[in-house]
Amino acid sequence: MDSGGRKEVTGDRFQQETKYHRGHLPAWHLDWASKPEPYKRYPAAPKVQLDPPQCEGGAPLWDVLDSRRSVRHFKAELMAKSELSQLLWAAQGITNQGSGFRTAPSAGALYPVETYLVVNSVENVEPGVYHYAVDKHELDQLRVGDFRLPVTQAALDQEMAYRANVVFIWTALFERSTWKYNQRAYRYVYLDAGHIVQNVALAAVALDFGSCQIGALYDDEVNALISVDGVEESVIYMTVVGRAE
């Protein structure tokens, strides 16, 4: 029980036990030799080359912000491969090759969040499960086939995942952040994911698409779909994107 007589649960303990207190910050002694790699590799996976992202022009920011809404109903229209490329770059594409800095901020520039996607209907991209190779701006093809039903079931049976052109899946490789920030890292991981997802939501509006963010999901079903273990790497967020009805 807490001081108010309320039963403490995991979320409460997490919030309290990861607080920083003045004069009692953790001492960091970083082992640089054990720093996790910043990019996840699938060397044996077939690669799908993406169009170069457009980094100039585009829709005015204030108009995009004003137009953003959660959209759950989509038209049966193909998404262009170039549009998918732009959404992926907006998510966390590299903006400075020398530094590796990306479109979304990350605590300590550690970038623990990985982008996967289930492609339902994108022109010149086979339906299937993919991983976004950030540094190459290309897709690793992990599984080929129609995964609309399993991704919908994993997304708490929400039909919008079945109708969307693409379902984005974000995971965290927790060690990338805990290497430096210990238990406080978990706060930063979820903040990082929020930055990335907002980028995609705004980019979708700029490209005349709709999106809806999904936090209610069957974690282990999503993890199984993209073949991650759910411990060292686990799903934390999803987004559907399609042309709004």
String of DSSP letters for 195-213 = HHHHHHHHHHHHTT-EEEE
Considering the domain boundaries, does residue 11 fall inside one? no
Name the token pair of 131.
């991983």
Residue 1 has pLDDT above 60, yes or no: no
Classify residue 90: in a domain, yes or no: yes
- Identify whether 191 is part of a domain: yes
Residue 34 lies in a domain: no
Per-residue confidence (pLDDT) for residue 96, from 0 to 100: 87
Is residue 17 situated within a structural domain? no
Domain count, the chain: 1
Domain CATH for 206: 3.40.109.10
Residue at 89 is within a domain: yes
* Residue 32 resides in a domain: no
In this predicted model, what pLDDT tens digit does every residue of 36-47 receive, in sequence order? Answer: 999 999 999 999
Write the pLDDT tens digit of every residue in 133-155: 999 999 999 999 999 999 999 99
What are 40-80's pLDDT values in tens digits?
999 999 999 999 999 999 999 999 999 999 999 999 999 99
Q: Which domain holds residue 151?
A: 45-242
| 10 falls within a domain | no
